[in-house]
Amino acid sequence: MLRIFKLLLPAIIPSWRFFDVIAASPRIQYVLLNKQSENLSEWQEYTARLRQLDSITILKRLFWNPHWNEYLFLVSCAERIIANLNLSTDIIDNHHSETEILKRICRALFSHKNSFDEEDMYLQFRLLMVNRDNTQNPAEVVFYSSAKSLTELQCQNGI
């Protein structure tokens, strides 16, 4: 009950400090691993951002924008993890955010599959911080998730 109240309070008494400081921004990268923790692919950025958007698509997205809003939710989860790194008190919240990111990346990658050929395939993500000085080569990895098996994440049939 106290937890719900804590979540509800910022909505009832909002701070409205939109974009007050443009701080370093998180990027989510993922990798597929096998059971021996060997990379089966390179680290790749997970993003819903396209290279170019035409005006019709932009207008359509005023009404239908699920992929982008999900991506912003995952960024929020990444920000929660980073905020908790120095606290280490809110383990539940970190676990939730980590699982949400893993499950949603998994679904985005494999939702078309009915079964996995490689039963021992694992998914891991890491978080990098991008700021004004390192937009091209974000170097600072601030978090590695645990590696979860794709079967465990059940990404074939939704979450």
For binding to other proteins (CB under 8 A), which residues are involved?
A: 3-4, 7-8, 10-12, 14-22, 24-27, 49-53, 58, 61-66, 68-73, 75-76, 80, 92-93, 96-97, 100, 107, 130-132, 135, 157-159
| CB nearer to other proteins: pick between 18 and 115 | 18
Sign of CA dihedral 82, 96, 76, 139: positive
| CB nearer to other proteins: pick between 37 and 64 | 64
| CB nearer to other proteins: pick between 14 and 37 | 14
Q: Check if the beta carbon of residue 107 is closer than 8 Å to that of residue 155.
A: yes
CB of 89 to other proteins, least distance (A): 15
Q: Check if the beta carbon of residue 147 is closer than 8 Å to that of residue 98.
A: no
CB of 65 to other proteins, least distance (A): 5
CA 127 from chain centre, in angstroms, equals 9
Q: End-to-end CA distance of the chain, in Å?
A: 26
CB of 77 to other proteins, least distance (A): 9
- By C-alpha distance, which of 2, 3, 16 is closest to 96? 3
CB of 125 to other proteins, least distance (A): 15
